[in-house]
Amino acid sequence: MLTPMVDRRDLQQRLDDLAHQYRVPGAAAGVLVGGRVEVVATGIAKLGTSVPVTTDSVFLLASLTKVWTATLVLQLVDEGLVDLSLPVNHYLKPSLRLASEEVARTVTVGQLLSHSGGFFGDAAEPNIRSDDAVEKIVDSYRDLVQLHRPGALFSYSNSGYNVLGRLVECVTGSTWDDALRTRLIEPLGLGSTSTLPEETMTRPLVVGHVPAAPGSHDLAPVSTWLDPRTSGPCGGTLAATPADLLAFARHHLENGLAPSGARLMSAETTRSMREPHIVQPDPSRGPAWGWGWSIEHLEPRVVGHIGSTCGQQSRLVLAPDHGVAICVMASGDVQGMGDKLVSELLEQLVGVGLPATPDPVEADVDVTPYVGRFRMSDEATIDVRAEASGLVASFTTSGRWADFHGDFSTTMTYAGGTTFLMTMPPVTDPVAATFLWEDGADGPATHLASQMRVAPRSEAFTR
């Protein structure tokens, strides 16, 4: 039975309504079903102007770029140039250096693809714009701390994907930008997709928006449109229209075929990207991670990715067995409008929505294993303490964390298993926080996982 296409007028009306409800300045949405595409847009490109967002407007893909970088790596695997089981340093010149020399020597390509390399994943990115930007950012990782043993846990890693971008450069002998252009953008005929600002700025742009102050729901345009070139492979520079993003999705739905019929990746390798390779502990985010793709549902298989940078947000999901892809691209979507629309469309077309945040559970829980200090980075620590009313998490922040969140405290409401719910401003909806044990569930929890990152107990956060 063929999956019916959504009605364009209904899609337009729903995008209009949700953008108004969530106070999103501008957005676009697209649906691909069986080769047919519908794209709609709403709102304005920048607050204070009257420039409309159109279906030809270019958005930053943000961390959705990681799927593109993973695709490049898997192309090299197909060509016999990369082995996922080998240490990444087998391919890097100069070699990757980390705070742990042992991890730098042994962490594998596959572990980086599945976000299980274990070293700190959100390193600062200097403003380098030369062709050696990715090489220089990877060279700066020599002091990155280890959060867990490689392969032991899932923890989302921008740094790990920049390392993979450097792998692409070393194996192909080109920059990551050129490899992406020659291996994906051009073969897929993506005429509105680029990574370099001098190319992107020739197209109609959507400007990102961020909270005007920490915790505020009022928005202001960003002062910098994109991230430095150092963050290209992990998601700071790639920009596209919704139609181009859906064309990339179609390449994956058709298991590696380009519109010309040329095979850019084998069907077996393309499908392997959608298989589970590491457990993802946040119940609101899907059960596992593949090579690049987040696995939102196992049956029916739904994979996807999200992105957020410079005040812009993106979301893409694919249901391969149904031939369906859905994308939403937005500016200033701090409350989750994109997730809402994607989930509704996915339910309509495939019969399942996106994973949802679990509901609170009434139960007597021994909170002793969860009490303590967990350290997300040099800029953010979480003190979890037991009070008469239950667990409370207090965040102490500085630097970039303070710019977005500031210091705050939140109650932790039990939600089953070792998961609790907490609220992180400016978002008012609860997010899941799951306590983990790296070596089995005995004694105090070794890690706290939330927002796809793990924070080890403070005493384990060592350089």
63 is catalytic: yes
C-alpha distances (whole Å) from 1 to each of 4, 35, 112 are 9, 15, 38
C-alpha to C-alpha distance for 202 and 391, rounded to whole angstroms: 52
Six token digits for residue 366: 């021994």
Six token digits for residue 407: 């210091």
C-alpha to C-alpha distance for 132 and 237, rounded to whole angstroms: 15
Six token digits for residue 462: 């060592």
C-alpha distances (whole Å) from 386 to each of 63, 375, 430 are 36, 18, 19
Closest CA to 107 of 65, 167, 174, 63: 167
What is the DSSP code string of 74-93? HHHHHTTS--TTSBGGGT-S
C-alpha to C-alpha distance for 179 and 174, rounded to whole angstroms: 6
105 by Cβ neighbours in 10 Å (0-12 / 13-18 / 19+) ranks as middle
Residue 233's contacts (CB-CB under 8 Å, 6 or more residues apart) are: 65, 66, 69, 134, 161, 162, 164, 165, 166, 168, 176
C-alpha to C-alpha distance for 35 and 29, rounded to whole angstroms: 16
In angstroms and rounded to an integer, the radius of gyration of the C-alpha atoms of the chain is: 21
Residue 240's contacts (CB-CB under 8 Å, 6 or more residues apart) are: 58, 59, 61, 190, 192, 193, 194, 248
User: Residue 121 has what DSSP assignment?
Assistant: -
C-alpha to C-alpha distance for 154 and 408, rounded to whole angstroms: 26
Closest CA to 115 of 285, 249, 245: 285
| Selected catalytic residue, list 57, 63, 308, 343 | 63
Closest CA to 452 of 308, 269, 311, 239: 308
User: What amino acid positions are annotated as catalytic residues?
Assistant: 63
